[in-house]
Structure 1
Amino acid sequence: MAADQSSVPDAYDDLLEQYGRATYLADANMVLSWDQEVMMPEGGTPARAKQRGAISAVQHDLLVDDDMGEWLDELDGADLPAEEAAAVREIRRQYERKSRVPTDLVEEISEVTSDAHPIWQDARENDDWSTFAPTVERLVDLKREYAEHIDASADPYAVLFADYEPYIDLDTAEGILERLRETLVPLIDDIREADADLHELDGTFPENQQYDLVRETLEALDYDFDRGRLDTAPHPFSSGTQFDARVTARFDESNPLESLGITVHEFGHAAYTQGLPQDAYGSPLGEHRGLTVHESQSRLWENHVGRSRAFWDFFVPRFNAAYGADLSSEQAYEAANQVYEDNLIRVEADELTYHLHIILRFEIERALLSGDLDVEEVPAVWNDKMEEYLGVRPETDAEGCLQDIHWSHGSFGYFPTYSLGSVLAAQLYAAADDDIDSLDAKIRAGEFEDLHTWLTDNVHSHGQRYTTDDLIEQATGESFTADYFLDYAESKFGDLYDLDR
């Protein structure tokens, strides 16, 4: 039924006002989560779990309130301007999913995930999956129940995946992951058989010096510290709003490139968040377009900028000054792009083997959600898949199935967006390179403004106005494709390792 046009403005304003209140609560909850991972004393968990659970419940109730449904009904078929129609589309999608989930389940999931964080930390520190397994089992059960409420007829993993990537279906994601595996495994095999001897860093790099350098890196990349901050966390992340987008890093005194790569990665996330339109805060038009696009921004800055020859031509004097080193830019470039034979940790993985880490997690998550894998079997299956895909076998659970924080958050369905984002990063960077005169030379000179502007104009400023596919089409002129990433990987690493392919 078409809307009564006289009621449309009021219904739209009322809808956006209530959605805004729910958004503000979610953002407050996000700050509580940041504090729990960065600053909260260890004993704070019981109260924090209750606090976050209560906020999640109130936010959920606002989003599924009967008034929201009535306002959406009034707006059904209304002739709205494009941006307003997009905001209604996104709110309707959330309402239709969330209204099927009981509030008490939302509150329980929030409380269990808050409680799970220190349990995961202790299990990892003590190398003991068995102490974390009951929590994982409970979360798997809760997330299955959650998915069943939304769509009992669908694959539960597909339902959960849609929380993180609403407009790329799981079949498309799985097809891209399969294509990555088919292409990258033989490329990695060729690299491991190559005679190339790439430069490696050696020595001790004090944490305080690393901190100073990564802060200097953020300043060089034009991170806005008036709307952000740099802290440390066991598992680095970025979170926030366009007014307060924070980044975290961690430091290994034997590997300064890790902290540098992490920081540039999280900068990419924060640059996207800071680039969202400020006047649309509290509306879908002021929110990111899903985790595939979000991850594309971090991977673009980390890999296509931070691991490029042009970047190291610009950055190696700063690196040498920080550590009293004498690297050439080519040596630094080689060290930053090693393809490792024995890497066990996803966040320390090189640009190619990283995706095999993602595929492994994707397969385990799907098996857990489908009931084909018991939680207690995860360590053995994890280790077998590591050996099959990466040629290494973890000796401990801490360097195996306990290394990631995501399951303590209940984030089942999240991992595929990492690889999808890497694929999209290559496509976006190719489009930016076509549009920006002498982009390589600008990066070599430490001039990042034009790339910032291109990304803001083509990605950040749109919020959720477009669906993922439409945003990609708008930005690049093409549909989403893995071609750019695979061509980039073959070219870059074929050159580095002198492959004849």
Structure 2
Amino acid sequence: MSADTPQAYDDLLEAYRRVSNLESAVGVLSWDQQVTMPDGGAPARSRQLSTLSGLRHELLTDDEVADALDAAAEADLNDEQQAVVREIRREHERAAAVPRELIEQISAKSSEALEVWESAKAESDFSQFAPILEELVELRREYAAEIDPDRDPYAVLFEEYEPYLGLETAEEVLEQLREELVPLIDAVGDSDVTLPDPFADGTYSEQAQEELSREILTDLGYDWERGRLDTSSHPFTSGNQFDCRVTTRFLEDDPLSALTATIHEFGHAFYSLGLPQEEYGTPLGSSRNLSVHESQSRLWENHVGRSRPFWELIEEDVRGAFDGLEDVDGEAFYRAANRVYDDNLIRVDADELTYHMHIVVRFEIERDLVNGDLDVEDVPEVWNDKYEQYLGVRPENDAEGALQDIHWSHGNFGYFPTYTLGSVMAAQLYAAAEDDLGDLDEAIHEGEFEDLQTWLRENVHRHGARYTTDELVELATGESYTADYFLDYVTEKYSELYEL
């Protein structure tokens, strides 16, 4: 304890670090379940995760934390310490409103649902998943009602992932993008320009894709001493500033899918690995929230990984990794990586424009599910109808429709809007970085990412959860959170690509 740090504050941190350590342990077990656990391990893992989640809830809501929060509120704290107390109090008060039994039920049911979802997706049969999804929806409704029975339950759940921008902001951004992107997507569809697809007729081994993914992660600066790459049914990142692991998936007919997914997950990992090590286990050593997390993954995936200079940088590596691409240059790869697929059914493979229509579909469906305006059994039909409405294409089966995402099997309702909020934030952050550093194209072309990485470390990562989302954006960019930069970015980029 520092001589000038109030005892009450140190007591609070000591108690909260135990909570954080349990959360990290849950994360490792969850990673293992999705990556290395044998198929038969699910029943035991469900109980393990349920017990740990219950213990974490018990520690977080313990009188020791409540007393330490009250004492810290009376202490003379600096701005950083006050932010820590704010974040712990918010988490404590939400947790204290929910019975431990309900937390354990949600954890156990989510662990069980993961296995059911994977089987249902493999067999393209939503009816297998529907009963347990209905249970998860009901459990999450109960959870929201325990926190605040008088509010929109979906708004309460949304705040699990983005506590400060608010559901109203998410709705406004999604509506703005729906209004402004649809005409742009239509214009692209009407364009006479056809972008190249050099990967269309080939097959690409998992080994070759993995070797290239590892090479690109190394080039981007992934710290292999604190991370690893594995495969999973749905790409994800898990960990903290000491141990942050990424996964991807490989499709033999579409190596772009693995490349973009791997770079996306690198963005998540780079953020987590950049959090202050000395603040591990406290809000100052934790990511701000999922909107900010998604801003980092989408920045690296799109503003770097889909840029012309990046594909010029890696073109030799790509040609060397795969047969049949000897005559393809960086410009063709760049254009291929940015083809607009308005007939694409899969969110994780979507281009930058249509991606957000995928989010709108999920947002509208899960909001109606949670609010009781949609029955689980009707999800596939409504899903397919909305895809036809927003993208002009209809899924032929459940695997490419309502079963394609893993999130609902985790009980994560309210998560999907953060993908769009993060994409919007990424464009604003990248524009601010270029204002400070100058045009980054040349640096990317030379494989020099240090200046951008340092800028992100200084303006985003080092702050942890000290600032609210809107405060962090304004501090980093000098402006309030806005979708204008994203819309300007995609309009300029795709107008040039498709000669609009």
TM interval, shorter chain, is over 0.9
Residues 27 and 240 in structure 1, CA contact (< 8 A), matched pair in contact too: yes
**2:9 corresponds to 1:12:** yes
**Counterpart amino acid of residue 379 in structure 1:** P
User: What SS class does the counterpart of residue 239 from structure 1 fall into?
Assistant: strand
Map 1:69-468 onto structure 2 (within 5 A): 69-201=66-198, 202=200, 203-324=202-323, 325=325, 326-468=327-469
User: What SS class does the counterpart of residue 252 from structure 1 fall into?
Assistant: coil
**Counterpart amino acid of residue 273 in structure 1:** S
User: What SS class does the counterpart of residue 342 from structure 2 fall into?
Assistant: coil
Residues 429 and 476 in structure 2, CA contact (< 8 A), matched pair in contact too: yes
1:197 and 1:37 mapped to 2: Cα distance? Answer: 38
Counterpart residue number, 1:469: 470
1:212 and 1:301 mapped to 2: Cα distance? Answer: 19
Write the deviation string for residues 444-501 of structure 1: whole angstroms up to 9, x where unpaired.
10001111110011001100111111100110000000000000011000110000xx
Aligned partner of 1:40 among 37, 42, 46: 37
Determine what percentage of the aligned residue pairs are the same residue.
61
Write the deviation string for residues 204-255 of structure 1: whole angstroms up to 9, x where unpaired.
1111100000000000000000000000001010010100010001111111
Query: How far apart are 1:78 and its partner, in Å?
Result: 3.2
Residues 207 and 253 in structure 1, CA contact (< 8 A), matched pair in contact too: yes
Query: How far apart are 1:439 and its partner, in Å?
Result: 1.6
Counterpart residue number, 1:3: none
User: What SS class does the counterpart of residue 493 from structure 2 fall into?
Assistant: helix
1:347 and 1:437 mapped to 2: Cα distance? Answer: 31
**2:42 corresponds to 1:30:** no
User: What SS class does the counterpart of residue 246 from structure 1 fall into?
Assistant: strand
Write the deviation string for residues 412-441 of structure 1: whole angstroms up to 9, x where unpaired.
000000000000000000001111134211
Query: How far apart are 1:77 and its partner, in Å?
Result: 4.5
Range 6-15 or range 408-417, more displaced = 6-15
Residues 101 and 146 in structure 1, CA contact (< 8 A), matched pair in contact too: yes
**Counterpart amino acid of residue 391 in structure 2:** L
Structure 1 residue ranges, 4+ long, deviating more than 3 angstroms after superposition: none
1:370 and 1:305 mapped to 2: Cα distance? Answer: 38
2:466 and 2:22 mapped to 1: Cα distance? Answer: 22
Query: How far apart are 1:70 and its partner, in Å?
Result: 1.3
**Counterpart amino acid of residue 350 in structure 1:** D
**Counterpart amino acid of residue 491 in structure 2:** E
Query: How far apart are 1:313 and its partner, in Å?
Result: 1.4
Query: How far apart are 1:8 and its partner, in Å?
Result: 7.6
Residues 6 and 75 in structure 2, CA contact (< 8 A), matched pair in contact too: no
Write the deviation string for residues 95-144 of structure 1: whole angstroms up to 9, x where unpaired.
11110000010011000000001100111111111111010100000000
Query: How far apart are 1:7 and its partner, in Å?
Result: 12
1:285 and 1:7 mapped to 2: Cα distance? Answer: 18
**Counterpart amino acid of residue 147 in structure 2:** I
Write the deviation string for residues 303-356 of structure 1: whole angstroms up to 9, x where unpaired.
000000111111111111111423111100110000013201111111111100
Residues 140 and 410 in structure 1, CA contact (< 8 A), matched pair in contact too: yes
Write the deviation string for residues 266-322 of structure 1: whole angstroms up to 9, x where unpaired.
000000000000000010000000000000000000000000011111111111111
**2:475 corresponds to 1:481:** no
Query: How far apart are 1:164 and its partner, in Å?
Result: 0.3
1:434 and 1:360 mapped to 2: Cα distance? Answer: 35
Query: How far apart are 1:9 and its partner, in Å?
Result: 1.5
**2:18 corresponds to 1:21:** yes
Change (3 A) 1:287 1:496: same
2:453 and 2:76 mapped to 1: Cα distance? Answer: 34
Runs of at least 5 residues in structure 1 that lack an aligned partner in the other structure: 1-5
2:128 and 2:313 mapped to 1: Cα distance? Answer: 47
User: What SS class does the counterpart of residue 159 from structure 2 fall into?
Assistant: helix
Residues 384 and 393 in structure 1, CA contact (< 8 A), matched pair in contact too: yes
1:176 and 1:278 mapped to 2: Cα distance? Answer: 34
**Counterpart amino acid of residue 481 in structure 1:** T
1:38 and 1:314 mapped to 2: Cα distance? Answer: 31
Write the deviation string for residues 378-421 of structure 1: whole angstroms up to 9, x where unpaired.
01000000000001000101110000000000000000000000
**Counterpart amino acid of residue 408 in structure 1:** S
Residues 8 and 74 in structure 1, CA contact (< 8 A), matched pair in contact too: no
User: What SS class does the counterpart of residue 164 from structure 1 fall into?
Assistant: coil
Q: CA RMSD in A?
A: 1.1
1:280 and 1:117 mapped to 2: Cα distance? Answer: 32
Residues 355 and 419 in structure 1, CA contact (< 8 A), matched pair in contact too: yes
**2:66 corresponds to 1:66:** no
Range 311-320 or range 161-170, more displaced = 311-320
Change (3 A) 1:7 1:434: closer
Residues 207 and 252 in structure 1, CA contact (< 8 A), matched pair in contact too: yes
Runs of at least 5 residues in structure 2 that lack an aligned partner in the other structure: none
2:262 and 2:71 mapped to 1: Cα distance? Answer: 46
Residues 136 and 408 in structure 1, CA contact (< 8 A), matched pair in contact too: yes
Residues 20 and 282 in structure 1, CA contact (< 8 A), matched pair in contact too: yes
**2:51 corresponds to 1:50:** no
Residues 241 and 273 in structure 1, CA contact (< 8 A), matched pair in contact too: yes
